[in-house]
Amino acid sequence: MSSINLTVNLGQLQLKNPLVAASGCFGYGTEYSDVVDLSTLGAIAVKGLFLQERPGHVPPRIVETPSGMLNAIGLQGIGVRRFIDERLPALRKHRAVVIVNICGTTVDEYAELARILSDAPGVAALELNISCPNIKEGGITFGCDLRGAHDVVSAVRRATSLPVIPKLTPNVTDVASFARAAEEAGADAVSLVNTFLAMAIDVETRRPRLSNVFGGLSGPAIRPIAVRMVYECRQAVRIPIMGMGGIMTAEDVVEFLVAGADAVQVGTANFVDPFVWPKLLDGLTGYLERHGHGAVRDIVGTVAVPGAAQRISS
Ligand SMILES: Cc1cc2nc3c(=O)[nH]c(=O)nc-3n(C[C@H](O)[C@H](O)[C@H](O)COP(=O)(O)O)c2cc1C
């Protein structure tokens, strides 16, 4: 048994370790309970929920790309009431720490979801999806506008005492300014990144490969950009950061922590290897032992950047 302290704090929420299942890549958690001991994860960010059920986009909704995947699921979901009735009880039974990812088309919808979930036993935190790149209304429209992001976060802040974690989009010029807006609006932490807006074309038919034309790119292809964005946000805000984008190995986990993330989320890797979780935890523990650290938090934000805090290569 290792003596390493793996706990991390996201505001008032303490996780037993920094590994969190990323929204949309782990269902509502219950789907994975036969292959993963849900109580061993730091937390599970469940699939994005609207007030109402949604059918999502028609297929094709997923395409493999070099070192990544493109998706346009369109936030298919069972709606918040069915989630509370049908999924939360099982998640509690499995002793999972549940972060609910919420989506709305208006500020009021986000606040209403926050109120409903505040009364549901077993919800640890709310992750605000203001960054989904493949729906028409809501989502990313808030995440690409500083005022919109601020308004959503402050409305949810007023509606709940649960930890509030806005999830930022990378599809902006200056992601750090959105982290700052979230912090000013009362966020307990930020998570980043959601997927990158992208497109793939079948050259034989000359048609887009996704029914929605555009989709969100995830997986190892985006990792260096995500790491850069986490690093930039770490310089800009004091609140904790959950970093993600293409994490496949324990080394990738460490890279995000060293860049400034307090915890990480793992998404696309679940589709490649659902048994990845113990490997990530063992690898992280091994790294900390090898480098003589007693706690995960010892390595957070420890990247040694010579000279300036910000370097742009020519
Ligand atoms: C199929 C799929 C569905 C997703 N659904 C959601 C979602 O409902 N809400 C959300 O905030 N992010 C969603 N995401 C984004 C992921 O949570 C994550 O931010 C992104 O994929 C980058 O991490 P990764 O490279 O480890 O997958 C989804 C990603 C994928 C691939």
- pLDDT by residue (tens digit) across 252-286? 999 999 999 999 999 999 999 999 999 999 999 99
Residue 228: CB atoms within 10 A of its CB come to 15
Q: Is 188 helix (H, G, I), strand (E, B) or coil?
A: coil
Supply the CATH number for residue 248's domain.
Answer: 3.20.20.70
Q: What's residue 131's pLDDT?
A: 77
Helical spans, DSSP H, in 94-199: 107-118, 140-143, 146-159, 175-184
Examine the pLDDT at 132 and tell me if it is beyond 70.
Answer: no
* Ligand 1, atom 23, residue with closest C-alpha: 245
Kindly state whether residue 306 falls inside one of the protein's structural domains. Answer: no
Q: Is 227 in the pocket of ligand 1 (CB under 6 A)?
A: no
pLDDT digits (tens, 9 = 90+) for 76-111: 999 999 999 999 999 999 999 999 999 999 999 999
Kindly state whether residue 310 falls inside one of the protein's structural domains. Answer: no
pLDDT digits (tens, 9 = 90+) for 206-244: 999 999 999 999 999 999 999 999 999 999 999 999 999
Give the pLDDT band of residue 141 (cuts 50, 70, 90). confident
Q: What's residue 2's pLDDT?
A: 77
- pTM greater than the 0.85 cutoff: yes
Q: Is 245 in the pocket of ligand 1 (CB under 6 A)?
A: yes
Kindly state whether residue 307 falls inside one of the protein's structural domains. Answer: no
Contacts of 258 (CB under 8 A, 6+ apart): 299, 300, 301, 302, 303
CA of 307 to the centre of ligand 1 (A): 35
Whole-angstrom distance, CA of residue 6 vs CA of residue 128: 25
* Ligand 1, atom 29, residue with closest C-alpha: 24
Burial class (CB in 10 A: 0-12, 13-18, 19+), 83: buried
Examine the pLDDT at 175 and tell me if it is beyond 80.
Answer: yes
Dihedral angle, C-alpha 102, 108, 114, 118, nearest 10 ° = -160
Kindly state whether residue 309 falls inside one of the protein's structural domains. Answer: no
CA of 314 to the centre of ligand 1 (A): 31
Task: With beta carbons less than 8 A apart as the criterion, state whether 249 and 27 touch.
Answer: no
Task: With beta carbons less than 8 A apart as the criterion, state whether 127 and 100 touch.
Answer: yes
pLDDT digits (tens, 9 = 90+) for 14-48: 999 999 999 999 999 999 999 999 999 999 999 99
Whole-angstrom distance, CA of residue 202 vs CA of residue 194: 25
Mean pLDDT of the chain: 94
Instruction: Respond yes or no: is residue 144 known to be catalytic.
Output: no
CA of 23 to the centre of ligand 1 (A): 5
* Ligand 1, atom 26, residue with closest C-alpha: 267
Q: Is 306 helix (H, G, I), strand (E, B) or coil?
A: coil
**Among residues 176, 190, 157, 183, which one has the least CA distance to residue 262?**
190
Kindly state whether residue 116 falls inside one of the protein's structural domains. Answer: yes
* Ligand 1, atom 8, residue with closest C-alpha: 48
CA of 59 to the centre of ligand 1 (A): 17
Give the pLDDT band of residue 147 (cuts 50, 70, 90). very high
Give the pLDDT band of residue 137 (cuts 50, 70, 90). low
Q: Which of 25, 132, 144, 233 is catalytic?
A: 132
Domain count, the chain: 1
Kindly state whether residue 123 falls inside one of the protein's structural domains. Answer: yes
What domain range is 154 assigned to? 8-299
Kindly state whether residue 312 falls inside one of the protein's structural domains. Answer: no
Residue 198: CB atoms within 10 A of its CB come to 23
Q: How many CA atoms lie within 13 A of 24 on its CB side?
A: 25
Kindly state whether residue 31 falls inside one of the protein's structural domains. Answer: yes
